[in-house]
Amino acid sequence: MGYVMSTSVVFPGQGSQFVGMGKDLYESNAHVKKRFDQANEVLGIDLKDILFNGPDEVLKQTEFTQPAIFLHSIALAETLSDVNASMTAGHSLGEFTALTYAGVLSFEDAIQVIRRRGQLMQEAGLKNPGAMAAVIGIDDEKVVEICAQASSKTTFVVIPANFNSPGQIVISGHDEAVDEALVLLKDAGCKIAKKLPVSGAFHSPLMEPALKGLKEALDKAQFNTAKFPVYSNFTAAPSVDADVLKNNVIEQLLSPVKWTQIMLAMANDGATEFVEIGPGKVLQGLVKRTVTNVEIKGFQ
């Protein structure tokens, strides 16, 4: 019996966007063109124009960033017939792309939910102002511990929001608690601890105002059994069950993205190749820093 490659397909989240994304694909690929035009029709906005022409300040707004990255990623993924996924996952917003790729959500349902999620998260960021900070070069457990210390000291909330790769975490919460955590992290010998230019404390309890609206949007969407396992940000575990996958994207809003744990779980479950589909190369870098002896490639 020959060696069978097991392929994990992964999709990027916010932060990978750039003005002009998808323009070449749109002009050269009939399927991509169809999807981009369809997105405009379904959403009733000129999303395509924002992707191609920006300006950057508009593309960077969460309510546009999220559907833009999804659209670019899924339209491209649908054209790659020689990629045979055995499993999939996506980082934060990318989890919705993974669900669409695995046949759990239709394109129309997904893009509407994602636009609504972006709007709700943007509104929650205004209602509950907060911050996020990148933390590099310190043990993951130590970051968890320091966040708990900073929270109890300030009586505000700060939690690890993204476990991106070992020793690379993003923390999220109230400004006061994040600032306190940054002081404690530097005292503990952390190499880099700096705030990120984001419009809210994503993946933390501060996103609570977005929860009801997200549930309502998801209730309007139809969830199907996945064609292959989808690894969820909330649990880092695979599932094909429609109800489980739906619950996981609800929980994801207020909970950490367990990306490190997802990559390790996939490798443990036999993934020998990781393929990132969508703008940027962020996830390829994270895979490189987390798992060994796997092939890594990307399609942009």
Q: Which residues are known to be catalytic?
A: 92, 203
> Rounded to an integer, what distance in angstroms lies between the CA atom of residue 150 and that of residue 183?
9
Q: Do 201 and 172 touch, CB atoms closer than 8 A?
A: yes
54: tokens are 């920006």
Region of 54 (left: φ > 0; alpha: ψ -120 to 50; beta: rest) is left
Rounded to an integer, what distance in angstroms lies between the CA atom of residue 183 and that of residue 188? Answer: 9
> DSSP secondary structure string, the chain?
-PPPP-EEEEE--TT---TTTTHHHHHH-HHHHHHHHHHHHHHTS-HHHHHHH--HHHHTSHHHHHHHHHHHHHHHHTT-TT--EEEEEESTTHHHHHHHHTTSS-HHHHHHHHHHHHHHHHHHHHHS--EEEEEESS-HHHHHHHHHHHHHHHTS-EEEEEEEETTEEEEEE-HHHHHHHHHHHHHTT-SEEEE---SS-TTSGGGGGGHHHHHHHHHHSPP---SS-EE-TTT--EE--HHHHHHHHHHGGGS-B-HHHHHHHHHHTT--EEEEESSSSHHHHHHHHH-SS-EEEEE-
Residue with tokens 């993951």: 140
Maximum CA pair distance of the chain? Answer: 60
